[in-house]
Structure 1
Amino acid sequence: MKLVIYGTDTCKDCVDAKALLDAKGIRYLFLEFSDSIGNLKRFLKIRDTNPMFDAVKEKGGVGVPLFVLEDGTMTFDVNEVISKIENA
């Protein structure tokens, strides 16, 4: 199952999630947006149009890491991602 992660290496949660996925041997494409305007625009298009980000934005958060599975599932929870991939 393909996995895309939107985030930045300056985010501790993103770094920790990548380390956990690496330890489990789960492959992913990490779209770093602190050094790529294109990746940032792709992330903002999702964030600004998806209601799953409303609570995050209300609290002043960014909403990363954002995990996107090939079936379209989006989540902020790395453990949910691991469970879905390991049980696929």
Structure 2
Amino acid sequence: MIKVYGMPSCPDCAEVEERIKASGKENDFTLVDIGKHVVYLKAFLQLRDRDEAFREAREQGYVGIPCFVREDGSVTLSHEDVGL
């Protein structure tokens, strides 16, 4: 299962959620709203602060959502990389 970190108020995250619904692969993804609970935010920040996939986002001052964590633990910020 692919974990998707995001927030409903983020337009890109909302688009990804719609892509997931349209793909018919809802069971392949878990949406994690980082604004819903501090535990989710902390998990996301640990990824963002350490993973190379976020280097450009950090350098440009972007939040880095939506982000996708594959089952093998690899991280991407591209919805295309996860088949959406």
**CA shift digits 1:20-40 (9 cap, x unpaired):** 111011121111011210000
What displacement does 1:75 show? 0.8
2:51–2:75 contact (8 Å) kept in structure 1 = no
Please give the root-mean-square deviation of Cα atoms over the aligned residues, in Å.
1.2
CA distance in 1, matches of 2:65, 2:30: 14
**Partner SS, residue 83 of structure 2:** helix
Query: Segments of 4+ in structure 1 off by > 4 A?
Result: none
Q: Within 5 Å, which residues of 2 pair with 1:68-87? A: 68-82=69-83
How many residues of Structure 1 are paired with residues of Structure 2 in the alignment?
82
Normalised by the length of structure 2, the TM-score is 0.89
Structure 1 portions without partners, runs of 5+: 84-88
Question: Greater CA radius of gyration, 1 or 2?
Answer: 1
Residue aligning to 1:23: 22
After TM superposition, give the deviation of residue 79 of structure 1 in Å: 1.5
Distance 1:72 1:55 in 2: 19
TM-score (structure 1 length as normaliser): 0.86
Q: Letter of the aligned partner of 1:29 in structure 2?
A: T
Corresponding position of 2:34: 33
Instruction: Name structure 2 gaps, 5 residues minimum.
Output: none
